[in-house]
């Protein structure tokens, strides 16, 4: 089959749009099972019958598309997700559901009246999934996952199999990302309808755009937070739970949930989702950038830590602006640290790309090899590039200053009164470069 990559999806959408006048791809996605939950059916109606294979599509493309949208709980999100050029994994069900709502709004096509009233764009993308996930966890022993985990592909150049990195929740990362993208693209289409292939290509930077720098999809967390605003997500989850209480398939699930508990569930769901997927930055796991195994046995850190040490990599000297370039830089640094320096692994706890993403080195829980004499006392965070004379992009500076550090404090990994140092303050080195060092002197916690 073609790779499970957003490029493949765009090619399929383009072929369908060119050959089927008046044909809407989101309706086809719904027919194939992309919107099979009770709430989504209530909002968008019963799915149409599955059509015959369109003559415009080769058999392997049609087979891939049907597999990606087929509703199969055992296969989701493995079967329903694709790899985007920015390195994120996107579930197509909530993506196309949000797009369909946007198209209906743009053309004035009504959706069935729902009581109580809901924002249909959030209902079909995230509100039902979020409310259901936290509702199901309410009676559990407290260890049931409600959000996440991330996952990894077998081969980022020819992705076919996606494996989760932990116990699945109803909203693994791929579903959360597909839902946020469905909200953003649905809202964009409602304002300015354009061909769907053009919309997807522009947002994800597929095809020739992949090496040109950051695509809009890499800003999804910021843009979703701005569009959704404080209180909006909680409000929509409450509204969706009230709708689900009236629908026969889900009535029993909510029969003993009172109004106050419903609000409490929605508040918790909205708060947790916002912290994980909006306020905290995305971190690319080791298996996505192609890490070698750790050599030996890693030593655990005792959390929370008290310090952060800022570095620049110096070599590679150029910032990496795409997932492919940053993954190459990570592999090169790990080879150097393991083969030349003789370390067990890449030294940094986290590495900062200029593509909008952090890359996991040793991570939150294991002692690194970044700041001699201080490795067990703090996290080492390295910016890809040489920042002796220039600064990272403002977005890249903010990724650590405004997102990673507050997130580490909120999640109990870093003391609230942490100290922040440049590497040069603790060793004989110019790291993190004069420009970056003068920048971090202005940050909270600098000492």
Annotated domain spans of the chain: 6-279, 287-441
Give the three-state DSSP class for 351.
strand
Residue 61's alpha-carbon distances to 17, 159, 180, 197, 198, in angstroms, are: 14, 15, 26, 15, 19
Q: Which has the closest alpha carbon to 382: 339, 447, 429, 342?
A: 429
| 8 Å CB contact between 412 and 373 | no
pLDDT for 305-328, tens place per residue? 999 999 999 999 999 999 999 999
Mean pLDDT of the chain: 92
Query: Does residue 53 have a pLDDT over 60?
Result: yes
- In this prediction, residue 109 carries a pLDDT of 86
Cis status of the peptide bond prior to 198, with omega within 30 of 0: no
Q: Which has the closest alpha carbon to 363: 278, 309, 446, 301?
A: 301
Beta bridge partners of 5: 83
- In this prediction, residue 77 carries a pLDDT of 45
Long-range contacts of 201-207 (CB under 8 A, 24+ apart): 201/10, 204/6, 204/10, 204/84, 204/85, 204/86, 205/85, 205/86, 206/6, 206/7, 206/10, 206/85, 207/7, 207/10
Pick the CATH number of 287-441 from 3.40.1190.10, 3.40.190.10, 3.40.80.10, 3.20.20.80: 3.40.80.10
| Unique residue bearing structure tokens 């996605």 | 29
For range 319-345, the mean pLDDT: 96
- In this prediction, residue 78 carries a pLDDT of 46
Whether the full predicted model's pTM is greater than 0.85, yes or no, is: yes
pLDDT band at 76 (very low <50, low <70, confident <90, very high): very low
Query: Does residue 355 have a pLDDT over 60?
Result: yes
pLDDT for 256-296, tens place per residue? 999 999 999 999 999 999 999 999 999 999 999 999 999 99
Please give the helix or strand (H or E) that residue 100 lies within, else none: helix 92-107
Q: Give residues with Cβ within 8 angstroms of 293, minimum separation 6.
A: none
pLDDT above 90 coverage of the chain, percent: 83
H-type alpha helices, 192-292: 196-204, 220-228, 232-246, 251-254, 259-274, 286-289
Residue 119's alpha-carbon distances to 97, 226, 404, in angstroms, are: 13, 17, 31
| Unique residue bearing structure tokens 């953003």 | 184
pLDDT band at 72 (very low <50, low <70, confident <90, very high): low
């Amino acid at each position: 089959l073609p790779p499970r990559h957003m490029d493949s999806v765009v090619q399929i959408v383009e072929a369908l749009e060119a050959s089927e006048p008046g044909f809407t791809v989101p309706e086809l996605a719904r027919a194939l099972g992309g919107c099979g939950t009770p709430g989504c059916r209530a909002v968008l109606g019963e799915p149409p019958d599955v059509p015959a294979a369109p003559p415009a599509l080769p058999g392997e493309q049609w087979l891939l598309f049907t597999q990606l949208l087929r509703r199969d709980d055992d296969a989701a999100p493995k079967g329903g997700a694709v790899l985007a050029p920015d390195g994120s994994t996107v579930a197509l069900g909530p993506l196309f559901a949000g797009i369909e709502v946007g198209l209906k709004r743009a053309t004035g096509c009504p959706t069935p009246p729902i009581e109580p009233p809901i924002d249909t764009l959030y209902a079909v993308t995230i509100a039902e999934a979020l409310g259901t996930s936290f509702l199901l966890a309410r009676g559990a022993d407290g260890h049931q996952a409600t959000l996440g985990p991330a996952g990894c592909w077998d081969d980022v150049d020819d992705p076919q199999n996606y494996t989760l990195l932990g116990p699945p929740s109803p909203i693994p990362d791929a579903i959360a990302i597909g839902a946020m993208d469905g909200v953003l693209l649905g809202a964009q289409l409602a304002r300015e309808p354009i061909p769907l292939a053009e919309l997807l290509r522009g947002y994800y930077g597929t095809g020739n755009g992949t090496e040109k720098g950051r695509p809009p999809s890499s800003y999804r967390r910021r843009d979703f937070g701005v569009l959704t605003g404080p209180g909006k997500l909680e409000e929509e989850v409450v509204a969706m739970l009230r709708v689900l209480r009236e629908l026969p398939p889900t009535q029993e699930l909510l029969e003993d949930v009172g109004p106050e508990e419903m609000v409490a569930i929605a508040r918790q769901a909205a708060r947790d989702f916002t912290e994980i997927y909006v306020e905290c930055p995305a971190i690319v796991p080791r298996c996505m950038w192609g890490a070698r195994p750790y050599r030996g046995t890693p030593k655990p850190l005792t959390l929370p830590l008290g310090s952060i040490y800022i570095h620049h990599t110096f070599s590679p000297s150029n910032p990496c602006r795409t997932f492919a370039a940053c993954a190459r830089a990570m592999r090169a640094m790990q080879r150097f640290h393991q083969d030349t320096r003789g370390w067990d692994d890449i030294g940094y706890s986290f590495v900062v790309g200029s593509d909008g993403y952090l890359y996991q080195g040793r991570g939150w829980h294991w002692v690194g090899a970044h700041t001699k004499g201080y490795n067990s006392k703090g996290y080492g965070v390295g910016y890809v590039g040489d920042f002796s004379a220039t600064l990272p992009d403002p977005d890249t500076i903010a990724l650590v200053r405004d997102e990673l550090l507050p997130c580490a404090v909120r999640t109990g990994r870093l003391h609230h009164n942490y100290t922040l140092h440049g590497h040069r303050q603790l060793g004989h080195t110019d790291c993190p470069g004069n420009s970056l060092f003068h920048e971090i002197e202005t940050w909270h916690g600098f000492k």
